[in-house]
């Protein structure tokens, strides 16, 4: 659809927005692929529930299974404008950028070598995912670190088991926490 000719006021509105603008509105619809927001300012959308759209990765810093775990239809939200989707004539928005990043907060308060107790969340071929609390999950790799295995074999871990771990690295750009077992193996 040619939005410039079909909906000139919508197109004009999208052109006024700048990356970083804060837009407010009401959650109009929740879909498995994202959330539509009816914005307070600007025109309605001729075919979609709202001009604003929040994709799944932009809803929350924390893991969730369903967008309805994060927002509800009718909820008021403030979001940051990321850019205009000219194909769908939408304002692409982020809810999470206006919220504190729990991984950054974790990185600010821990040091490499610090020991934690965590809960085994998942065992996969590459290693063991350990929940450290507050939505923070780290990986104990099955590969060797400093000449010794970072984790014992997969069969030595049970989902839900409480274990001791050591922070090896917090990699903010790729949003990963690498863990190992303490020297004493507890």
Tens digits of per-residue pLDDT, 101-146?
999 999 999 999 999 999 999 988 888 899 999 889 999 887 755 4
Residue with tokens 């074999």: 153
Model confidence band, residue 184 (pLDDT cutoffs 50, 70, 90): low
Contact (CB, 8 A) for 9 and 45: no
The answer for 146, left when phi > 0, alpha when psi is -120 to 50, beta otherwise, is left
Rounded Cα distance between 79 and 21, Å, is 8
Q: For 67, phi and psi rounded to 5 degrees?
A: -55, -30
User: Pseudo-torsion of CA 156, 135, 173, 164, nearest 10°?
Assistant: -30
What is the chain's length? 186
Tell me: the pLDDT tens digits for 56-85? 999 999 888 899 999 999 999 999 999 999
Does the pLDDT of residue 185 top 60, yes or no?
Answer: no
Beta bridge partners of 94: 80
Please list the alpha-helical segments (H only) found in 75-181: 102-109
């Amino acid at each position: 659809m040619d939005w410039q000719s079909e909906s000139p006021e919508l197109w004009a509105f999208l052109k006024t927005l700048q990356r970083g603008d804060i837009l407010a509105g009401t959650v109009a619809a929740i879909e498995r692929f994202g959330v539509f927001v009816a914005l307070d300012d600007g025109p309605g959308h001729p075919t979609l529930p709202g001009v604003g759209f929040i994709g799944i990765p932009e809803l929350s810093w924390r893991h969730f299974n369903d967008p309805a775990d994060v927002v509800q239809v009718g909820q008021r939200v403030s979001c940051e404008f990321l850019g205009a989707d000219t194909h769908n004539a939408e304002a692409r928005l982020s809810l999470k950028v206006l919220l504190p990043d729990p991984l950054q907060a974790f990185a600010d308060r821990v040091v490499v070598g610090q020991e934690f107790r965590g809960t085994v969340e998942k065992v996969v071929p590459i290693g063991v995912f350990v929940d450290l609390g507050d939505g923070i999950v780290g990986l104990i790799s099955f590969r060797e670190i400093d000449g010794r295995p970072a984790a014992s074999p997969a069969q030595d871990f049970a989902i839900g088991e409480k274990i001791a771990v050591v922070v090896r690295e917090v990699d903010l750009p790729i949003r990963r926490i690498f863990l190992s077992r303490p020297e004493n193996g507890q």
